[in-house]
């Protein structure tokens, strides 16, 4: 059976986190804020190419109990994780600049507090009157599962700081604050999809986000009305090759765009793809093919949703995985096994989601075949000697905000 999703949090969760805040940091929390992880239905590795993406927010969230301080100190603790941060906000600088507070590590493997420190640093760098803070973090988004636990952490801190210091910033601005924290402080060259999904999603909808224009559209997404479910298959592996491979893919796309003399690969139309492939470095050609065809697939998938063509939507999902596996080369044996087993169990479509090299796959499956899918995936993993996967159901949920 699939595991139930964690709720979005309520009075009991907020009260428990307030109590924990008092125990770890002293004093009383001024409030509790939360931001969700996300699952991307389609449109992978195209956000940093100014493309189209279609994520939705998960019920699983990262919570932040917070209170302002008058002495300019930033104190950060976690319910689950060891370590913490104690520094003056005036001393926050990116590690590359010799700063103090939250070691970004440059490749996403630094201290988890870097994601928190980075948000505070960006807000202050932009001239916002953010002072000292006490923060207690309770992360409910699985780490390393490709569900964007980092963006959830950044966005939870961003909405807490914005509320506490009276910043009149819309959701898309806070998403960009969170992205810049990850880019410039932590050192991960991510696009904007994860942060925008965490900030701007609404329940019952997928978020069609045009990264180039910044335009978002809430697309109704209710597979349950057709007796379908979205299953998230967490492979529970993360291969170390992925640590630098993300940056390599970004660099490859940038080099290809330069060779084509375009602002980004978004400017390559599908009809011009063959010509483009002949003009880019040979090692970049498969990356270009993925990006151009993936952006087109997002449009096809949204069109299928609008006409309630769930089979067509599923076919687009599966084609996306094939492209990610063969052209962008960001899948892995566990993700491929999850997709193959899901399709063998009757899923309408399945694909890896997230940056790849581990993490999660998703599948669109009839409700009455969900148990068969879970059993098939578990049996496949056991036969191959892989770690037992974890399967949950996912439903589109609300974006970031105050919860207590």
Max Cα distance, the chain (Å)? 64
Q: Which residues contact 17 (CB under 8 A, 6 or more apart)?
A: 29, 32, 63, 65, 79, 136, 138, 404
Distance CA 99, CA 197 (A): 30
Does the annotation mark 248 as catalytic? no
Per the residue annotation, which of 11, 194, 210, 251 is the catalytic one? 194
Distances (CA, A) of 309 to 278, 316, 343: 35, 11, 18
What is the three-class DSSP state of 264?
A: coil
Taking the CA atoms of 163, 206, 325 and 52 in sequence, report the sign of the dihedral they define: negative
Distance CA 175, CA 92 (A): 20
**Could you tell me if 216 and 196 are in contact, meaning their C-beta atoms sit under 8 angstroms apart?**
yes
Strand pairing class (132-139; 73-78): parallel
Give me 70's structure tokens: 């008058």
**Could you tell me if 51 and 298 are in contact, meaning their C-beta atoms sit under 8 angstroms apart?**
yes
Distance CA 291, CA 263 (A): 14
Catalytic residue ranges = 194
């Amino acid at each position: 059976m699939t595991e139930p999703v964690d709720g979005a949090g309520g009075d009991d969760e907020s009260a428990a986190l307030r109590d924990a805040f008092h125990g770890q940091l002293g004093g009383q929390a001024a409030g509790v804020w939360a931001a969700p992880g996300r699952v991307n239905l389609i449109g992978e590795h195209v956000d940093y190419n100014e493309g189209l993406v279609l994520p939705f927010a998960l019920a699983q969230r990262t919570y932040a109990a917070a209170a302002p301080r008058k002495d300019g100190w930033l104190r950060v603790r976690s319910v689950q994780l060891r370590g913490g941060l104690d520094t003056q906000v005036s001393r926050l600088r990116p590690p590359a600049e010799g700063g103090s507070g939250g070691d970004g590590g440059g490749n996403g493997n630094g201290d988890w507090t870097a994601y928190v420190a980075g948000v505070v640093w960006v807000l202050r760098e932009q001239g916002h009157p953010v002072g000292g803070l006490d923060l207690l973090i309770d992360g409910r988004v699985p780490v390393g599962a490709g569900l964007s636990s980092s963006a959830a952490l950044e966005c939870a801190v961003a909405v807490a700081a914005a509320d506490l210091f009276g910043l009149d910033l819309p959701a898309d601005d806070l998403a960009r604050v969170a992205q810049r924290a990850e880019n410039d402080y932590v050192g991960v060259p991510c696009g904007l999809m994860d942060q925008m999904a965490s900030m701007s999603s609404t329940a019952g909808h997928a978020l069609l986000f045009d990264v180039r224009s910044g335009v978002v559209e809430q697309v109704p997404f209710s597979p349950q009305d057709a007796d379908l479910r979205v299953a998230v298959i967490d492979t529970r592996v993360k291969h170390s090759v992925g640590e630098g491979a993300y940056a390599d893919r970004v660099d490859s796309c940038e080099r290809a765009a330069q060779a084509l003399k375009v602002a980004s690969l978004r400017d390559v139309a599908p009809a011009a793809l063959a010509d483009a492939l002949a003009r880019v470095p040979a090692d970049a050609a498969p990356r270009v093919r993925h990006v151009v065809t993936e952006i087109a697939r997002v449009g096809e998938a949204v069109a299928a949703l609008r006409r309630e063509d769930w089979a067509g939507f599923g076919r687009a999902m599966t084609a996306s995985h094939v492209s990610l596996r063969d052209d962008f080369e960001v899948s892995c044996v566990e993700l491929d096994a999850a997709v193959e087993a899901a399709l063998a169990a009757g899923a309408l479509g399945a694909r890896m989601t997230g940056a790849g090299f581990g993490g999660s796959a998703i599948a669109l499956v009839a409700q009455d075949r969900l148990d068969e899918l879970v059993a098939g995936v578990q049996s496949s993993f056991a036969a191959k000697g892989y770690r037992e996967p974890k399967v949950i159901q996912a439903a589109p949920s609300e974006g970031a905000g105050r919860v207590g």
